[in-house]
Structure formats: structure tokens, C-alpha cells
């Protein structure tokens, strides 16, 4: 069993990225097998519960009101519509339902409706996840009391590159919300995006920030930028896909007991590239034809991929107790 550490240095992380590909994958796979059943992959389905017109200016995001992406705005959905979508996702095989809202932070009137959504989805026997932007006051505790299992809040990139991508909030604002989420006893889903024109050093810095949080996020989504016309990052030179695989592998090594999600960007990947990501230690995906506003592989394509690779859609069994904060 590899130790759970919170004191990774940039130098160490850089050295992992620089390993020959086969050595890096061997190390990631060894770590993966020490902590998890390597053939189980967790599946979550996403739903955008409030779409577009977001006041934040995240350069990657089609939902920002600052950009000209062609996204149909939609007000906060009704609770019944969300619970019906969750039931359909459960019946199609998803174990977790993630609800995303294009907000900087939730207003009280909307927040109480989200609490009802969480209660309704939880009552279906599914795990619940929401991503609502920054939380204040007792919001995290109220989400926990309503039955929320996970809160998604990504660091997205390195502290140094952050202001090249987002100017309407600071990296530290994200850390503050993550602290509130942890304090409320919620599981943390926190990762980032690669392929935004960042340097390898920025990928090192993102993973350093994640791995040195007081407690590792239980879920670590690694998104490959989905380039959407009208966003400032559309037209960015695409990142070498093998560098994406390396990022998954380094995340696995740094956070051995966390579930690493091969997140956005799968629609543009073939089966072989996804297989490499699973080999690198990714053990979770978004399942269903749509992410929030962009496409995801069709469910039947994912079922065929799992069949081809001998993967079971299941919560990857931890081979050790999830460690407490060091």
C-alpha cells in the first residue's frame, strides 16, 4: 500500500511527469492496484439544472455571459423534471447523479429548490452531487442535511495560471468554499482542466494544489478542455493526448486512494486513448449522451467500451480504508 502524502513538492511531481511513459504507467497501475479493484469504474450522470447567463468569465466555459457561445439559456429546472432525469439515469446504470448550475453562488430562493432536488434524487437510492459555485454561511451544512454526498468545485488550473483563465474570482475563493464543504462533512469532488494552453508546470501546479489539500478530494475529475466556439479558449492548440494520459497517471500516484475521473473531453477520444487513461488509473466517467451543454459518448458506446475492456460499472472497491487527514 502506498502512503497517503500531503507534502508533495513540485520537483517530485515534475519528475513523475518526466518519467518514460512506460515507467510512469507502470507506477500508476501499481498504485492503482494497491488501492482499488482495477476493473471497476464508477459512473455518474450529469444534468445542467440551470444553464447559461453565468456572471463569471471562465475562459473555457460556454455558459459565461461574458462570451458569445451559442448556448440556450434555461432557468432553474423544476424539482420533478430533475428527479425524473435522475430516475432515467439510475435505470440506465448510473450510481451517482450530478447536478450543475451556472451560478457564481446560489441565491436563497434557488438554493431551497436545489435542497429539494437533492432530497428527491437521494430518495431514488442514488448518490447525489451538486456543483453550484461558491458556498457561503451554512449552505454546505444544509446541503449535507438534505442528503448530499458530494460537492464538485474544481481548482481548474495552477494558482499562477488562474488569472489568465478567470478574472471574476480568485484561486483562494475556491479554497475557501472547499474548506466549507469539508467542514460540513461532505465528500469533495475537485479537479481541473488541461489543454487550456497552460504549460506542463501549470499541470504540475494544479496537481500539487490538489494533492496537498488537508485531505485529498474523494473524487478528482480531470477534464480535457472541450473547445466551444465563442469562448476565448476556442482555437487553443490541442494538448498532446499522451500528456493528458500522463496527467491522469500523476494524479493517481499523488492521490492513491481517490477516484480519478476521466471527465470532459471523452467524446473526442477513441477507445485506445480511453483505455490508456484507465490503465493510468482513471476509475470514473460521466455516463450519458450529454455533459452540461456539450456532448459525451452515447451510453451504448460506453457499454461497448466497458465490454471490450472487461470493465464493470461499479464503485471501485477500496483496498484500504480511505485515510483521514494526515
Q: List C-alpha distances in Å: 201 to 38, 90, 142, 277.
A: 29, 39, 38, 20
Residue 51 sits in the site that holds ligand DTB (CB under 6 A): no
Residue 190 appears among annotated catalytic residues: no
Which of 47, 59, 85, 100 binds ligand SAM (CB under 6 A)? It is 100
Residue 61 sits in the site that holds ligand SF4 (CB under 6 A): yes
Among residues 174, 180, 189, 266, the one annotated as catalytic is 189
| Helix, strand, coil percent values for the chain (each to nearest 5) | 40, 15, 45
Which DSSP category does 132 fall into? -
Q: In 3D, which of 68, 148, 134, 125 has the Cα closest to residue 101?
A: 134
Q: Tell me the CB-side half-sphere exposure of residue 297, using CA atoms within 13 A.
A: 22
Q: Which of residues 233-292 bind ligand DTB (CB under 6 A)?
A: 263-264, 291-292
Q: What are phi and psi of 91, to 5 degrees?
A: -65, -25
x/- mask, ligand SAM, residues 60-89, rule CB under 6 A, reads: xx-x--------------------------
2 vs 294, beta carbon nearer ligand SF4: 294
Residue 54 sits in the site that holds ligand SF4 (CB under 6 A): yes
Helix (H/G/I), strand (E/B), else coil: 324: coil
Evaluate whether 318 touches 36 at the Cβ level (below 8 Å): yes
Binding site for ligand SAM (CB under 6 A): 60-61, 63, 100, 102-103, 131, 133, 153-154, 156, 193, 223, 225-226, 228, 264, 292
Q: Any idea which residues carry the catalytic annotation?
A: 54, 58, 61, 98, 129, 189, 261
Binding site for ligand DTB (CB under 6 A): 46, 62, 100, 131, 152, 154, 191, 221, 223, 226, 263-264, 291-294
Amino acid at each position: 500500500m502506498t502512503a497517503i502524502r500531503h507534502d508533495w513538492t513540485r520537483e517530485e511531481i515534475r519528475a513523475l511527469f518526466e518519467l518514460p511513459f512506460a515507467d510512469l504507467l507502470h507506477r500508476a497501475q501499481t498504485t492503482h492496484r494497491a488501492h482499488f479493484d482495477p476493473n471497476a469504474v464508477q459512473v455518474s450522470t450529469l444534468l445542467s439544472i440551470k444553464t447559461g447567463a453565468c456572471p463569471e468569465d471562465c475562459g473555457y466555459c460556454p455558459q459565461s455571459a461574458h462570451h458569445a457561445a451559442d448556448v440556450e439559456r434555461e432557468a432553474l429546472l423544476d424539482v420533478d423534471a430533475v428527479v425524473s432525469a435522475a430516475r432515467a439515469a439510475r435505470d440506465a446504470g448510473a450510481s451517482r447523479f450530478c447536478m450543475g448550475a451556472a451560478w457564481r453562488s446560489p441565491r436563497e430562493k434557488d438554493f431551497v429548490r436545489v435542497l429539494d432536488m437533492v432530497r428527491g434524487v437521494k430518495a431514488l437510492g442514488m448518490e447525489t452531487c451538486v456543483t453550484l459555485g461558491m458556498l457561503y454561511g451554512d449552505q454546505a451544512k444544509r446541503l449535507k442535511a438534505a442528503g448530499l454526498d458530494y460537492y464538485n468545485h474544481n481548482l481548474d488550473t495552477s494558482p499562477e495560471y488562474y488569472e489568465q483563465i478567470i478574472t471574476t474570482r480568485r484561486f483562494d475563493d475556491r479554497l475557501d468554499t472547499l474548506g466549507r464543504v469539508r467542514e460540513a462533512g461532505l465528500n469533495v469532488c475537485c479537479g481541473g482542466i488541461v489543454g487550456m494552453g497552460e504549460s506542463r508546470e501549470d499541470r504540475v501546479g494544479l496537481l500539487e494544489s490538489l494533492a496537498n489539500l488537508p485531505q485529498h478530494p474523494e473524487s478528482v475529475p480531470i477534464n480535457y478542455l472541450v473547445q466551444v466556439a465563442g469562448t476565448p479558449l476556442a482555437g487553443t492548440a490541442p494538448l498532446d493526448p499522451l500528456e493528458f494520459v500522463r496527467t491522469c497517471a500523476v494524479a493517481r500516484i499523488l492521490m492513491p486512494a481517490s477516484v480519478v475521473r476521466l471527465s470532459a473531453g471523452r467524446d473526442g477520444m477513441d477507445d485506445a486513448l480511453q483505455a490508456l487513461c484507465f490503465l493510468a488509473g482513471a476509475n470514473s466517467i460521466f455516463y450519458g449522451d450529454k455533459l452540461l451543454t456539450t456532448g459525451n459518448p452515447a451510453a451504448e458506446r460506453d457499454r461497448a467500451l466497458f465490454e471490450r475492456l472487461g470493465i464493470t460499472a461499479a464503485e471501485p472497491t477500496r483496498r484500504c480504508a480511505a485515510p483521514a487527514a494526515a
